[in-house]
Structure 1
């Protein structure tokens, strides 16, 4: 199986966003890649093939493909795709309140994880006006990436974030029954990420998801790669690390501010995730330029 390498698809300057247009899209052969991509179908029709399954595509379909997922396109009839390639680790984006949008979690985490189980029926399908907005933003992004004028990295990153935000909002407005079922889970994830400093009970998240306990836990771990409690702890530790870097607050005060009620437990969890104590982390951060 062919593996598409970063160095063959991104500019030599290393900027981790690229736009690839396929008009028409032809069969490429089953492949994976080292990067992720947002796929926007702008015309025609065809089949999205994963090696085990195949699903029909049509204008307005939008989906996200992680690098490790094998795929190809077959039976194409004037199929037109715009692919936004991105290296997630290299981007290191600050998401601000994006995780408060259930559509973000549904589009980028839940739908890819549940694609086979839902037979691709929970994919995003944008309206004509939503597609026009997405295409306009992609054109702006593509223009910046082609010209590469001074400041293009800042503007291209901002435009990429606009695209992600727009498509996340689109998913949140969907009327598709299968997509709405994913949004129920996404509501619980969004609540967790927006209120992680508050006391949170697993039963509250299950109630928001409108699922059984077993189904919710399975769905959450499949999408996020960990249990809800582990994700909650990670969110709190990430926030604590930010406070250690940017404030003079004491370790105990920070522990309580981010939602822990035991500073010793906080320190143990911090060391487990960050591989050093909170005080060591602050000391190391202060030495960096």
Structure 2
């Protein structure tokens, strides 16, 4: 039986001094569970890991060690795809945005974290963008013939506005430290991209033994089956199935649904300790039987 963590781990607020101590250690020496447990003996490991994740995101050091690998992967496929427009749904402070803008003329970027707004704007201004317009909740920036529109809010609201304005999107980029599987069918239906880039943060849940999280997001599996007995390679296969099924279930009619063809992938960091980034080609779904047969008899 699953239990609420706070039922047996009452929340204890982190002091400013504790946060600074942890942040300084992360910046200088990285994450080491044994060392950090000694540094914070009154904290559970779950609490330390949770705070570590939040600080890394807040101070833009999450994924710093494999940032160049991610950029190179994006460049590699951007040169092949040559997109005209990209929807970067979780843009953060703009590290991937400044890569995409070299290959396309229109970028729609969103992030709900209010702390990301100023760093993102500063990042694109440093490469020559100037404020051009404001439309609804979008902030527009321009550099010659190129445009970047930033939405500081929920990704689904941004996607709905893109849909309402009949904006054609070539690439949907879902680059987050968590999981985007629960909303992937909706995003594919709204955006109708030609290509999907997705970063799988579900391996963090595997590493931290969050079976509850994995059972929730891997909706094609039996909810009664644990996910903790999966190997890294097996979880990789399950995630591929989840993406394909998300595309297939993006509409109630197969003829209006989509299918995802895996093109390439790269590990960001080491297996198990890192994340997996993949690129898919999104096409109209063939017959349901063909899709199901591929899923049932899939071979890697």
TM-score (norm. length: structure 2): 0.24
Higher relative contact order (CA 8 A, sep 6+): 1
TM-score (norm. length: structure 1): 0.24
Structure richer in helix, relative to its length: 1
